[in-house]
Amino acid sequence: MAANGTGGTAPQYSYAPPPAELPYYAGLFALADKSSSGQISGPAAVEFLSLSRLPVDLLKTIWAMADVPRTNTLDAGKFNVAVRLIQLFQNGKKPVDLQLNLGEGDACGRAPFFEGLSVQHVMSVGSGGGGGGAGRGERRPERGAA
């Protein structure tokens, strides 16, 4: 899983959120996937991932790292990679492997932050308790861990 099959140069990252974080990642994906197609297009991803308030050049790098093999869309797995990378950059951390793990004993810090989205709202969407884009921008974001 280290190469994408198009020359073997781009590493293919993966991230499987731990069970406690699954509703959060699922909720973020549901909010970003406005068409409920299971794929997030480039423009929709830019709109959503920009809520992280990371610099545009860094978001472009994150997109390139997540979109392997390159399809110009993000499915749930690729989206998880992008969100995990955002979380790591927001917390000043670097992964030690292609599964985006940290070194032993190194905690990641707070949950990935997206402006206008509270952890509680995202968790409720991810666990089936809310729908679509409801709540976006309606509450102040909370920066605590999920």
For the chain, domain boundaries? 21-126
What per-residue confidence (pLDDT) applies to 129? 56
What per-residue confidence (pLDDT) applies to 8? 57
What per-residue confidence (pLDDT) applies to 2? 39
What per-residue confidence (pLDDT) applies to 139? 32
Cα–Cα distance measured from residue 28 to residue 22, given in angstroms and rounded to the nearest whole number: 10
What per-residue confidence (pLDDT) applies to 48? 96
What single DSSP character describes residue 91? T
Cα–Cα distance measured from residue 13 to residue 77, given in angstroms and rounded to the nearest whole number: 10
User: What does CATH list as the number for 21-126?
Assistant: 1.10.238.10
The residue among 115, 2, 129, 128 whose CA lies nearest residue 49 is 115
Farthest CA pair distance, the chain: 46
What per-residue confidence (pLDDT) applies to 40? 96
Would the pTM count as exceeding 0.85? no
Quick check: 102 and 64 in contact, CB under 8 A?
A: no
Cα–Cα distance measured from residue 10 to residue 135, given in angstroms and rounded to the nearest whole number: 37
The list of the chain residues with pLDDT below 50 reads 1-6, 130-146
